A = this chain, B = another copy of it.
Amino acid sequence: MRVLVPFDTQSPKTRLAPALDAAERELFAKRMLADVLAAIDATPHDPLVLATGPVETTTPVTQDERPLTAAVNAALADADKPVGVVMADLALVTPAALDRLFGLADGAEVVIAPGIGGGTNALVVDQPGFRVDYHGLSYRDHRRRAEELGATAAVVDSYRLSVDIDRPADLREVLLHADGSAAGWLEAAGFE
């Protein structure tokens, strides 16, 4: 299965500004992306970065300058199904957490990993008409969308998939629970 990983190459992670300056945010975002790609690579599935600009990585990259929702929906329309979508800032992700997400797709046409605060941190879609909308309480909207389409839906109960790294307080979760390159970068930068 193809797993899309959307990545914003222009000023990523602006809400981390109280903790990290612009150059640091860019480095840290790249480390998180690398960790997410490595975790997907450790499953039987194939990551594809969906980036707004050029990205240095050995993973295949598709460039699409449009905002997140539009770019993901274009990719969903084109992709063979099932297809996964995993956010690039899930610094706590592990292959085991992804295996649980992907495993639920055997019994459901739409699988959702909710984010804390009502977002959608990961999806598996095996339904031709399903489209995303990442604005607002997207978890609720995506469940409704699945219901309207008559699609079977499942929700994965994972802490590691629920934590996206947006705000300075989230960095604590990285330091406590992750051991990838993003956590290493934070430690080297002096965070404890």
Contact = CB atoms under 8 A, between A and B. Distances in A.
Contact of A158 (B116, B117, B159, B173): B159
25 contacts: A97-B157, A100-B157, A114-B159, A114-B176, A114-B177, A116-B116, A116-B163, A116-B173, A117-B169, A117-B172, A117-B173, A118-B172, A118-B176, A137-B176, A139-B176, A140-B176, A157-B158, A157-B159, A157-B160, A158-B158, A158-B159, A159-B159, A159-B161, A159-B162, A162-B162
Contacts of A118: 172, 176
Q: How many copies does the complex hold?
A: 2
Interface string A110-121: 000010111000
A177 B156 CA distance: 12
A173 B119 CA distance: 11
A139 to B, nearest CB: 6
Interface string A169-192: 100110011000000000000000
Interface in A113-163: 114, 116-118, 137, 139-140, 157-163
Contacts of A114: 159, 176-177
Contacts of A177: 114
Contacts of A97: 157
A94 B155 CA distance: 13
Contacts of A17: none
Contacts of A163: 116
A119 to B, nearest CB: 10
A96 interface: yes
Interface in A92-107: 94, 96-97, 100
Nearest to A163: B116
B157 A96 contact: yes
A170 to B, nearest CB: 9
A160 B159 CA distance: 8
